[in-house]
Structure 1
Amino acid sequence: MGPPDGFRPTHVVPADGLPTWTSPDPAAAGVPLDPLLPVALAEANGNWARIVCSNGWTAWVDGRLLVALPQRPPATGGPLATTDDPRPLLAALERSLATYRRLVDDWAAGRIDLETFRDGTRDLRLGAVLDGSDAWLLDLDRGRWYYCDAAQLQTYATADRDGRS
């Protein structure tokens, strides 16, 4: 059985999997879901959430535990408000990622200890989600998540100083 027509995941199952129920009732236990399985939220009822899997199977889960996937911003019907060139932000993300990779390599090879690794990464902040041509980029200097469509950035959400939206 293939995915339901128009299946587009809205969430994934947490990294340690997720129990299911056949109805929103703690006594109606079902089979657990695999870690990081993409699912679509079909219905919410308090903390309960009915999800649909790509094969059409449906179940109830604790909706608080689902990990939301980013979605494209809604169409505005007009030009995007922010037209910043995404390349400077991409370059900053590349530098941060390269620094982190170098420190991981140094730690794994025994050239630095864990305390030196932690000191070297303390001020690194990086956020990027890529899904085909869609990108969500975190700029902590400005405290914003941006949606990027290759040509321009659009503010998607603001983040606090710790990078949380």
Structure 2
Amino acid sequence: MGTPYEFQPTHVAPGDGLQTWASPDPSRPTVRLDPLLPVQLVDSSGNWARIVCSNGWSAWVDGRLLVALPQRPPGTGEPLATTEDPRPLLAALERSLASYRSMVDDYAAGKIDLEAFREGTRNLRLGAVLDGSSAWLLDLDQGRWYYCDGTRLQTYATVDRGEAP
């Protein structure tokens, strides 16, 4: 597999975690992965997928349940850009999340109806996966997923803005 520095997650476990197996055999379950744990898909057989975690541990999972992370754009072997300070993007993500929460609160309290909720949240987009000191942050204004190690942002992938719902 290589050193831990070579780990490049391709997926995360779903929000409710994910059962693992020692082999592609449902009679041999092992531990459950934590929700949103980054993993690297290394092999597949039908619906079975063999994943590797950042610590090198490997297991088989139901590959249909893995959540794909955005991948580096085709043809690029090097990072696209580095930004030293992650705080401006984190502040923008916090504002988007606060706006969404406010709309949820208003809808739950009956202050607005479903149509107003949908209209008020129509242009809100937010993406973040946190795993300890590592973070993958979505900035749709820039059309990029960034990887953050706590000290700086590095472009991880570009986003085709035409694909957003």
Q: Which residue of 2 aligns with 1:30?
A: 27
Q: Which runs of 5+ in 2 are unaligned?
A: 71-79
Runs of 4+ in structure 1 displaced over 2 angstroms? Answer: 10-24, 28-53, 58-70
Q: 1:118 to 1:30 in 2, by over 3 A?
A: same
Q: 1:118 to 1:65 in 2, by over 3 A?
A: same
The alpha-carbon deviation at position 41 of structure 1 amounts to 6.7
Alpha-carbon separation, structure 1, partners of 2:59 and 2:12: 14
The alpha-carbon deviation at position 34 of structure 1 amounts to 6.4
Q: Which runs of 5+ in 1 are unaligned?
A: 1-5, 71-79
The alpha-carbon deviation at position 85 of structure 1 amounts to 2.1
CA RMSD of aligned residues (A): 3.9
Alpha-carbon separation, structure 1, partners of 2:22 and 2:132: 34
**Structure 1 position 149 matched with structure 2 position 149:** yes
The alpha-carbon deviation at position 150 of structure 1 amounts to 2.4
Contact 1:21 1:31 in 2 (8 A): yes
Q: Which residue of 1 aligns with 2:77?
A: none
The C-alpha deviation readout for 1:37-64, integer Å capped at 9, x for no partner, is: 66967862433324689xxxx9754423
Alpha-carbon separation, structure 2, partners of 1:89 and 1:114: 29
Q: What is the count of residue pairs matched by the alignment?
A: 142
Highest Rg: 1 or 2?
1
Task: Provide the secondary structure at the position in 2 that maps to 1:112.
Answer: coil
The alpha-carbon deviation at position 16 of structure 1 amounts to 7.7
Aligned residue identity for 2:87: R
Alpha-carbon separation, structure 2, partners of 1:102 and 1:126: 15
Q: Which residue of 2 aligns with 1:117?
A: 117
Task: Provide the secondary structure at the position in 2 that maps to 1:124.
Answer: coil
Which residues of 2 match residues 94-133 of structure 1 at below 5 A? 94-133=94-133
Task: Provide the secondary structure at the position in 2 that maps to 1:107.
Answer: helix
- TM-score, structure 1 normalization: 0.62
Task: Provide the secondary structure at the position in 2 that maps to 1:125.
Answer: coil
The alpha-carbon deviation at position 141 of structure 1 amounts to 0.9
Higher relative contact order (CA 8 A, sep 6+): 2
Contact 1:145 1:155 in 2 (8 A): yes
The C-alpha deviation readout for 1:92-137, integer Å capped at 9, x for no partner, is: 1111111101000000000000100000000001111122221111
